[in-house]
Structure 1
Amino acid sequence: MSTRGTDSVPVVDFSAYSLEKHIPDEKTLQKLVDDIHNAFTTIGFVYLKNTGCPPQVIKDAFRKSKAFFDLNEGVKLKHRRGDILPKSNFGYVEMEQEGLNPERPYKDLKEAFNFVPCEAERVSAELDKFPVVSDMSRALQTLFDAGNTVQMRVLEIMGLGLELDDPQFLAKKHQFFCKTGTLRSLHYPRLNMKEIKENQVRCGEHSDYGSITLLFQDGKAGLQVRNVHDEWVKAPPIEGTILVNIGDLMQRWTSDRLIASKHRVMLPTTEEENSASRQSIALFGHPDDDEIIACLDGSNKYPPIGSKEYLEMRFSMTY
């Protein structure tokens, strides 16, 4: 059963097209299409349960990522984004390095590791020098593969909801994502509350850059989503679900039919909330680099733009 409306994030049963099925269950497929389309045209977020994504794969990615984040800063910085592989998104991003809301005066209180499959292959020898890093890389690759399969199925369902002539159209535009896409492991460590700057947050208000995002959360709350009433609503972890949301490029692609809602992670408000670190892992879906993104309805509401060009423009505003 799904929870409809625009005030909170709905929960939708994905079992009709679970990874355990080779073809969708025709009897319940239309309900799945309608529920996901309703979520993406109202709040832009949806919890998917019964996707078939293996729980142990998710647990391993969290556990081995945490082992990396527990390393001393010197080791982590050996794998810094842009250093380990020049002009690449692959690698470690330290605390207060990026600000997802440029209107906030201070950068975000989080650290991350960006995993890109094709670039991981190029630096595998370097990763192998540090067993914790290579273990994390393998775990993230396994989760990336499972998440990518879920993503492709969600894109198919979206094509049906948008009533495209070819329901596979969106999925076909992501055919090289299995190599060039990004899985981002995020860590929000315990904070010294006395050292936090005014108006600083864990993750600033933003909408994602690409097509869709799959978010795996641990058991710690913190994420908030802005609904159509301009209210911030909580999007806490729900066991056994993947949180999926629309990105800016998909909103542009669909002439604003699908909504890329802003979201954020605020600071803990109590010592109990701050007593343990928080983790999440995000699979950022993005069309293939050579795709030209033009409005699907032919309206030209937004001028065509290259997929890679758009992504690079957004990165330049973040770092």
Structure 2
Amino acid sequence: MENEQLIPVVDFSAYSLDRDQPDQETFQVLIQEVFKAFSTIGFVYLVNTGISREVVKDAFTKSENFFKLPADQKKPFTREKDNFGFVSIELEGLNPERPHKDLKEGFNYVPSTISAIEKAKKHGISPKFLDSLHLLFTQAERLHQRIVEVMGRGLNLQDPMMFVKAHNLIGRQGNGSTLRSLFYPPTSDYPTKEGQVRCGEHSDYGGITLLFQDSHGGLEVKQRNGNYIAAKPIEDAVVVNIGDLMQRWTADKLVSTKHRVLMPFSEEGTKFVRQSIAFFGHPDDEEQIVCIDGSNKYPPIGSNEYLQYRFSLTY
């Protein structure tokens, strides 16, 4: 069976960023297809979203320029408690059962963290780099809000805009949504440790994630039978998946699925840089996450409380 049959490809043109209102003739089909994907494998490729190819490309280019700076030039911008900044190689271990930390670097962009952005510019991070991330953050935010509206309608919520309202502060103080630029250096440049991977098996923390991939790929998604399948890159597609907080919120109606990035297997593959950029959508900090069906299958928890708990396990 082809990969695309396992991770569905859904045409989002009925509610793309190019439209002021959804196209009513095809909107219900979109709602049904997205709900089916999120309630089964928890992942979907969205095409025709309206996200600008040029904006994505520019964010990748500016990110690569930053990551290729010498380590001592990146270190001053190390991520702090505000979640803004540089994450050095082998700092994160997304699967704590792995014997070694992940072989990747990252840069977290949180636009509400004004002091950190000013600090970054003061100490030499190119404003063009931050501007490129900001442009992509802005477009990803708009698409995110349309996706969660589609999800609310697929779940037949009494208020289909409930998820949209719960993410009202994205990009401002009081919301932890983050754009993460990830850089996987050529493994030929590093002595790989036994059992080490580029990104350990994990499920995402928050509501939903929007992922922009490069052409090299590497992402693998766990099926219900326990096998992993490749989420191969599709040009201009956005990979979207459910996070743990959304699974709790929907009392398991939507599923958060583990995924990973292993080391490249071929000798040629070890020479490639891999990049991806992920938009992690989180409900507003003060939002109480209560099962939408009233079942209390999971105890209520604050959005930010849950996010900080997951950070404590990762770093």
TM-score, normalised via structure 1 length? 0.95
The amino acid of 2:128's aligned partner reads D
Identity of aligned residues (%): 53
Aligned length: 312
The amino acid of 1:156's aligned partner reads E
Asked if 1:125 is matched to 2:121, the reply is no
Tell me if structure 1 keeps the 8 A contact 2:244–2:256. Answer: yes
**Aligned runs of 1:1-319 on 2, under 5 Å?**
8-82=6-80, 87-119=81-113, 121-129=114-122, 132-179=125-172, 180=175, 181-192=177-188, 195-319=191-315
Cα deviation, residue 13, structure 1: 0.1
Change (3 A) 1:6 1:39: farther
- Please give the alpha-carbon distance, in whole angstroms, between the structure 1 residues aligned to 2:307 and 2:297: 19
The amino acid of 1:24's aligned partner reads P
- Stretches of structure 1 that go unaligned for 5 or more consecutive residues are none
Cα deviation, residue 273, structure 1: 1.2
SS at 1:78 equivalent:
helix
1:145-203: CA deviation from partner (whole Å, max 9, x where unpaired): 00000000000000000000111000100000122320000000001377111110000
**Structure 1 residues 132-141 or 155-164, which shifts more?**
132-141
- Please give the alpha-carbon distance, in whole angstroms, between the structure 2 residues aligned to 1:211 and 1:158: 11
- Stretches of structure 2 that go unaligned for 5 or more consecutive residues are none
Tell me if structure 2 keeps the 8 A contact 1:6–1:42. Answer: no
Cα deviation, residue 132, structure 1: 4.7
Change (3 A) 1:47 1:6: closer
- Please give the alpha-carbon distance, in whole angstroms, between the structure 2 residues aligned to 1:193 and 1:81: 24
- Please give the alpha-carbon distance, in whole angstroms, between the structure 1 residues aligned to 2:260 and 2:37: 19
- Please give the alpha-carbon distance, in whole angstroms, between the structure 2 residues aligned to 1:219 and 1:131: 30
1:211-269: CA deviation from partner (whole Å, max 9, x where unpaired): 00000001112100001121100001100100000000000000011000000000000
- Please give the alpha-carbon distance, in whole angstroms, between the structure 2 residues aligned to 1:51 and 1:283: 15
Cα deviation, residue 272, structure 1: 1.2
SS at 1:225 equivalent:
strand
- Please give the alpha-carbon distance, in whole angstroms, between the structure 2 residues aligned to 1:194 and 1:174: 40
- Please give the alpha-carbon distance, in whole angstroms, between the structure 1 residues aligned to 2:307 and 2:195: 27
The amino acid of 1:37's aligned partner reads F
The amino acid of 1:255's aligned partner reads A
- Please give the alpha-carbon distance, in whole angstroms, between the structure 2 residues aligned to 1:260 and 1:5: 19
SS at 1:128 equivalent:
helix
Change (3 A) 1:194 1:151: closer
Tell me if structure 2 keeps the 8 A contact 1:114–1:182. Answer: yes
Cα deviation, residue 125, structure 1: 3.1
Cα deviation, residue 5, structure 1: 10
Change (3 A) 1:98 1:20: same
Tell me if structure 2 keeps the 8 A contact 1:4–1:39. Answer: no
SS at 2:77 equivalent:
coil
- Please give the alpha-carbon distance, in whole angstroms, between the structure 2 residues aligned to 1:190 and 1:291: 41
